[in-house]
Amino acid sequence: MELSAIKIAVIGLGYVGLPLAVEFGKKRSVTGFDISEKRVNELKQGNDYTLETSSTELAEAKFLNFTTNVDDLRQCNCFIVTVPTPIDEHNRPDLTPLIKASETVGKVLKASDIVIYESTVYPGATEEDCVPILEKYSGLKYNVDNGFYCGYSPERINPGDKEHRLPTIKKVTSGSNPEIADVVDALYRQIVVAGTHKAPSILVAEAAKVIENTQRDLNIALINELAIIFNKMGIDTEAVLQAAGSKWNFLPFRPGLVGGHCIGVDPYYLTHKAQAIGYHPEIILAGRRLNDGMGAYVASQLVKAMTKKGIKVAGAKVLVMGLTFKENCPDLRNTKVVDIIDELRDYNCQIDVFDPWANAGEARHEYNLSLTEQLKAGFYDGIILAVAHKQFKEMGEKEIRKLGVKDHILYDLKYILTPEASDLRL
């Protein structure tokens, strides 16, 4: 397929799909498809609630059109699937969005079309789970003449990061045969100025993606465990990390909650596949268990500090500052701040949650949480700085302390303040 003849459809217009559609839409015909009419209507009006693209950037994508109509996809011959791949309540991969997207694409697939997946999956998912669906709904055969072809180019979007964006992050590409791999690679090189890395197979590209976040997860788990040990010894973890970081090859990881749609999710895709082929992954799951338990650990530390200070825990008023999974970003997916909140509620604490970045409706829908709109001076027995939003950094110790009663506990989970300014640090 000649590059000039490619007409792209991006399936799924979230944190990954929209920036992709916008970049391609600056250069060539793109149809952005999403099942949410509300989302599509907002984008048509130049509004992106994820804040990953501005109204100016949306306007610059002159060849981009948005739709919820499947029939509008029939004019396209290259489909890029960017739907979420979450886990269920038992930490098992939930491929429902991927399966539904594959069904949609299969219904409009034509001979010689290319389907590229960007969603994070376990190695083998594209060809073992998605391709049979495409074949079933299209009536075409995979990777043969007069059939269809596939590619895999894992997303590397970092929500809220205005420095590392799609064009400036090197892109891994792959295809179902050497010719298609070349086409997929050349296509992405049109928008990714940082360049591409053409993997030898779809399997390799899938595996590369899933270990990127698994590696980070394990490194953070190590630092979290060190923080627990150092806390028991009365040693400031950040001071230790700064000292160790003076060596050139010490990796700059920090302790904290591991949430979001990538680091806290992707390792479970790899462990699922490992168990399916008869191998029980010990280290990866150990890291997951430790990181998933950090919310409860933070809550217990606050409760112990309040008890030592003579503050009655049952009925105590606690302010949690920040709900999103990371700073300066509205993304609430898989935020582990809710684990702190749930644990403190088990102690019968009264919780207020304040986050200037989070959407109140989404917080209510996803977690049944009502966000506090106004901070109350001199009101709280405990304050947790859970997310390092710029607004909280600008407040500083003095303004944050004003929110507490005379004897309160301030827990700086994100090292926003100096060591002397807080009562507790992770």
Residues annotated as part of the active site: 262
Q: What distance in Å separates the CA atoms of residue 335 and residue 323, rounded to the nearest whole number?
A: 7
Give the C-alpha distances (Å, rounded to integers) separating 410 from 366, 381, 423. 27, 9, 5
Paired with 66 in beta bridges are 32
Residue 413: closest CA among 255, 260, 218: 255
| Residues 95/98/103/108 CA torsion (nearest 10 deg) | -170
- Alpha-helical (H) ranges within 122-177 are 125, 131-138
Coarse DSSP helix, strand, coil percentages of the chain, rounded to the nearest 5 percent: 45, 15, 40
CA gap 333, 2 in Å, rounded = 38
Q: Phi, psi (5° rounding) for residue 213?
A: -80, -25
Residue-level length of the chain: 426
Q: Is 289 left (phi over 0), alpha (psi -120 to 50) or beta?
A: alpha
CB burial string 353-380: b at 16+ within 10 A, e below: bbbebbbeebbeebbebebbeebeeeeb
Tokens of 286: 């150990």
From the list 339, 342, 338, the residue with the least C-alpha distance to 355 is 338
Q: What is the DSSP letter of 372?
A: P
Pairwise CA distance, residues 369 & 385, whole Å: 18
CA-to-CA distance for 355 and 300, rounded, in angstroms?
Answer: 22
